[in-house]
A = this chain, B = another copy of it.
Amino acid sequence: MARPGGRSARVQEAVHTAVRELEAEVGRDALTVPLIAARAGVTPSTVYRRWGDLGALLSDVAVEHLRPETEPEDLGGLSADLTAWAEQFLDEMASPPGRAYIRDALLGDPDGDNAGRCSAYAAEQIDVVLRRATARGEPRVPGTESVIDHVVAPMMYRILFRPGGLDPAYAQRLVADCLAAEQDRR
């Protein structure tokens, strides 16, 4: 989106930082483009020209919040690695800030680019876990899309549409069923 180090990158960094600071200070619902622009030291028209509207800007900032900061932990085995990753993913996404970022990412994103980035982040983390298992020579390693369908999708669906019962045991059960189904498939 932005040339690293270019003016465009500096504007994006300043505006994203302003949003994160003001979210903490005045709360997300009090954010306005003029308020954000003043804090970032740019004109409101710069923000409108680049992001279109407040929703699109908040969507971009939300996706940055949802970007994983570390690789999944290596616990030495597929089941342990995938379970730990799923428990942490659910804990982060089902938290009040996680839910708010998911909503913002979807809401200001009519063309689905940011939603796709959220899904790509999860797929990249799962890829790391599955490649490790393959490198260890573990048998019956499922495909990334199967883990997306049967571990990530149920957690995200319930966060958005069907809350309740979103505890670590739920994440553990989804992973166990996904790995068991892979065994039966072979």
Interface residues of A (CB under 8 A from B): 103, 106-107, 110, 112, 115-116, 118-119, 148-150, 152-154, 156-158, 160-163, 174, 177, 180-181, 184
Contacts and interface: CB of A to CB of B under 8 A. Distances in A.
A119 B174 contact: no
Contact of A157 (B107, B112, B152): B152
A164 B160 CA distance: 21
The 5 A-B pairs at the shortest CB distance, nearest first, are namely A153-B157, A149-B154, A119-B161, A119-B162, A153-B154
In the complex, the count of this chain's copies comes to: 2
Nearest to A183: B184
29 contacts: A103-B107, A103-B110, A106-B106, A106-B107, A106-B160, A112-B163, A115-B160, A115-B161, A116-B162, A118-B161, A119-B157, A119-B161, A148-B154, A148-B157, A149-B150, A149-B154, A149-B157, A149-B174, A152-B157, A153-B153, A153-B156, A153-B158, A154-B154, A156-B157, A157-B157, A160-B160, A177-B181, A180-B184, A184-B184
A42 to B, nearest CB: 27
Contacts of A118: 161
Q: Which of A112, A148, A153, A163 has most chain B Cβ within 10 Å?
A: A153
A155 B174 CA distance: 16
B157 A161 contact: no
A160 B106 CA distance: 8
